[in-house]
Chain A
C-alpha cells in the first residue's frame, strides 16, 4: 500500500502529457551556463505564451548530452516537440526520419524560405532534400588576436595567410605566451578545422555519392598542416593537445595565447574578464599559394538549427514556435545575447550586429564559408577523424614525428570503420 502510494507520487513527477497548450523544447547551451540560458530564454518564452497561449517547458541540454538525448528521442518517439541541433548533425538526424521535413508547405507555415540566409540554410540537411531543420543561430570561425601582444611584438595587422600566421605566431611565442591556442583533444573542433583545411587544399571528406574519401592526399596534407602548427611551427603550447573543455578559450582570455580560431567567442571572453577593446578579429587565413583545386573557404557554416520532432503531439504549436523563434524580433533579441548572427536576412541589418565581431562573421558566412558535408555519416566523420587528430596532437606534444604516411594509415583505418 505504501509502495503503491510512493509509486504514484514518484510517477507524478514525470512530465505532463503534451497537449495543444504546452510544448517541450530542448535548447542547446549557448551562454555561460545552463542557468544563464534558461534566464535568457525565459522572457522569450513568456512573450510566446502571451501571444499564443502555449506554455513552453524548456530544458537546456549540455552539448555533451545533446546528441545522445536526440538519438534517444528519435529512437523512442518520446521526447521534446522542438529541439536545437548542431547544424552539422542535420543530415545525420534527417536520416532517422524523426524530424519534420521543411517542405515548401512547412516553410510557408513559418513565413517562407526566402526569409532565411541561404548559406545557413545550406547546412540544414542533405542537398536536394527538404531541410530537416531551419537555422536559428548562425556562426562562423574567425581569427581572434590579442591587440596588446601584437603591438608588443611589433605586428601591425592580423595575418591573412597561414604562412603569415606561422611567422607572426613564432614572434608571439616566448616563455610566457604562445602564438595560437588550439582545442586539440576535442574531436569536433579538430574535425571542423580538418574540413576547412581540406577545402583549401582542394580535397573533400566525402564524394558526391556520400562515400567517405578520408585518405586522399589533400586530406592528409590538410590534417598535417593543422597538426604542424604545434609539431613543426611550435607556435602552439603542447599542453593544448589535452584541451577538450574549452581551455583554449580561457588561455586566450587569460593572455596565455595571442591568437585563437573560434566561433563568436566574444561573450566567452567577456565572461572571463577580457573586454572587446583588448582583442581584434579577422578572417581565418588562406594559404599564400592556393594548391590546384583549392577552394576559397575559410570556415564551415557553423550554427544551431531548430527542428520539430515528427512524434510531437502538438505539431501546430511546434511550428508556431519555430516561426516565433525565427521571427525578426526574436532573432535580434536572442542572437544579440549570444553574439551569434541572425539566420534571417531582415534581422541582419539590425544595429546590434554591426559590431566588428559580427561584421566579420557575416562577411565570412556571406562569401567564404561552406557547409560541412551534409551526409548521413557526418557525425561519425567528426568522431573518428577528430579522434585521429587528437591522437596526432598527442604524438606532436610528446615530440614524436608527424608523418604523412602515419596520418594516411590512420585515416584509412577509420574510413574502413565507417559504415554505409
Chain B
C-alpha cells in the first residue's frame, strides 16, 4: 500500500530533521548512506557517554541498528503476509495448472497436470466458458467504474458542502459515516429486504406512494434492474470512505488559498476547480485506486444480496469465479480465472500509477 502514497519526499522537511540516509540517497544502496549514519550515531551514542564500549562493540551495534533492525521490525508483517497471502496465492497459481475437479481434490497428486489448458479455456472467447467470463468481466468493469465514480462524487460533494460550519454539521457527518461502519452482512441484507418486489420499500415508494412506475411493479433482485440494485448497495457502502478521505484531504488545504481565491472574486466552481480539486489530487490518486481494487474484488456485496446464484445481468467476476470453483467443483479453472483477474489488476494498477505520477510531475 505504500508505493502510491503521493508526495513521498515532497513534504519539505528541515534539513536537520532529515532521517539518516536522507531521501537523496538511493534507498537501494544503503552503503552510500554509511558516512552520514556514522556521524549521527557518533553524536547520539557519544554525547553522554554511558559506558565505555570498545570500537568493535560500537561498530557492531551501529551495524546492527542500521542494517538489521529495520528488517527485524518489518519481519512479522512480512512473515504473515507471505504465509497468509503469498504462499496460498502461489499454491493457487499451481492449482490453475491442474485439472482439479472433484475426482482429484482429495489427493492432488492424482490431478493431471494440464499446463495452460485452463487458461486456454478461460481466454478462448469462442468457447462458452470464455464467453461467459468475458461477459462477467465486462459487467464488473462497468460496475466498478460506476461505483467508484459515483462514490467519489458523493464523497466529494458531501465533503465540500460540509466544509463550512453550520448547525447540525457534526450530526450529519456522523450519519454519513454510518454505512461504512455497518457490518457488510447487516447492510446488504437490509438492502435485499428493501429491494423485494412485493414487500420491499423501494417499490412501495416508487409504485404505491409516488406512482412513478406505470403498470407492474419492477423487479430489483432479478433481471436487468439487478445491476442497478447492486450498484446502489455498493455506492451506499463505499461512498462514506470517499467522504472520510476527502474530508481529511480538505483539512490540509490552507485557508489562505480560499481567501486568495475569494479576493480574486472566484465563485463556487472556480474555487472548486482551481483550489479544491488540485489540492485533492494526491489523495484522489490513492482513493480512486483503492476503491477500484476493493470494488473489483468485492465478493461480499453480491454474495449476500443475491445468494450464490447472481442474475446474469449482475454476474460479477468474484461471484463468477466462486461459482466456477465451488458450485461446479472445478478449482483448476477457478484458479486460472483468478490469476487472469490478478494479472489484469496488476496491469491496471501499474498503468494507473505510471500515468498519474507522470501527470503530477508535469503539472
Contacts and interface: CB of A to CB of B under 8 A. Distances in A.
B89 interface: no
Contacts, number: 98
Given A376-B103, A380-B328, A394 B222 contact: yes
20 contacts: A71-B326, A71-B329, A74-B106, A97-B103, A237-B198, A239-B217, A244-B309, A379-B327, A379-B329, A380-B327, A387-B309, A390-B222, A390-B309, A390-B311, A391-B311, A394-B222, A394-B311, A413-B131, A413-B132, A414-B128
B138 interface: no
Contact of B105 (A75, A239, A413): A75
Nearest to A387: B309
A64 B128 contact: no
Contacts of A185: 221-222, 307, 309
Interface stretch (A126-134, A219-227, A395-403): A395-403
Interface residues on A, range: 35 or more
Closest 4 CB pairs of A and B: A416-B128, A394-B222, A383-B327, A394-B223
B285 to A, nearest CB: 37
A98 B106 contact: yes
B163 interface: no
A242 interface: yes
Contacts of B132: 413, 417
A317 interface: no
A393 interface: yes
Nearest to B103: A95
A92 B129 contact: no
A190 to B, nearest CB: 10
Given A242-B196, A413-B128, A419-B101, A64 B106 contact: no
Contacts of B311: 390-391, 394
A238 interface: yes
A416 B307 contact: no
Contacts of B102: 71, 74, 92-93, 95-96, 376
A420 interface: yes
A276 to B, nearest CB: 27
Contacts of B224: 398
A241 interface: yes
B351 to A, nearest CB: 32
Given A242-B219, A379-B327, A394-B311, A71 B105 contact: yes
Kindly name the residue among A92, A187, A398 whose own CB sees the greatest number of chain B CB atoms within 10 A.
A398
B219 A75 contact: no
Interface string A42-86: 000000000000000000000010011001001101000000000
B106 A77 contact: yes
B21 interface: no
A364 B323 CA distance: 34
A384 interface: yes
A410 to B, nearest CB: 9
Nearest to B324: A417
Contact of B222 (A376, A380, A393, A420): A393
Nearest to B310: A387
B216 interface: yes
Interface in A227-256: 237-239, 241-242, 244-245
A159 to B, nearest CB: 26
B308 interface: yes
A92 B309 CA distance: 20
Contacts of B330: 419
A386 interface: yes
Interface of A: 64, 67-68, 71, 74-75, 77, 92-93, 95-98, 185, 187, 237-239, 241-242, 244-245, 376, 379-380, 383-384, 386-387, 390-391, 393-395, 397-399, 413-414, 416-420
A378 to B, nearest CB: 11
B103 A96 contact: yes
Given A74-B102, A391-B311, A398-B219, 18 more contacts: A74-B105, A77-B106, A93-B102, A95-B103, A96-B103, A237-B198, A239-B197, A379-B328, A383-B309, A384-B328, A390-B311, A394-B219, A395-B223, A399-B216, A413-B132, A416-B128, A417-B132, A419-B330
Contacts of A386: 309
B179 interface: no
B92 interface: no
Contacts of B307: 64, 185, 244-245
A413 B127 CA distance: 9
Contacts of B222: 185, 241-242, 390, 393-394, 397
Contacts of A75: 105-106
Contacts of B308: 64
Contacts of A419: 101, 328, 330, 333
Contacts of B249: none
Interface in B316-350: 323, 326-330, 333
Interface string B40-67: 0000000000000000000000000000
Interface string B220-256: 0111100000000000000000000000000000000
A167 B308 CA distance: 35
A98 B198 CA distance: 44
B312 interface: yes
A398 B217 CA distance: 9
B197 A242 contact: yes
Contacts of A380: 327-329
Contacts of B106: 74-75, 77, 96-98
Contacts of A242: 196-197, 219, 221-222
Nearest to A98: B106
Interface in B72-116: 101-103, 105-106
Nearest to A383: B327
B103 to A, nearest CB: 5
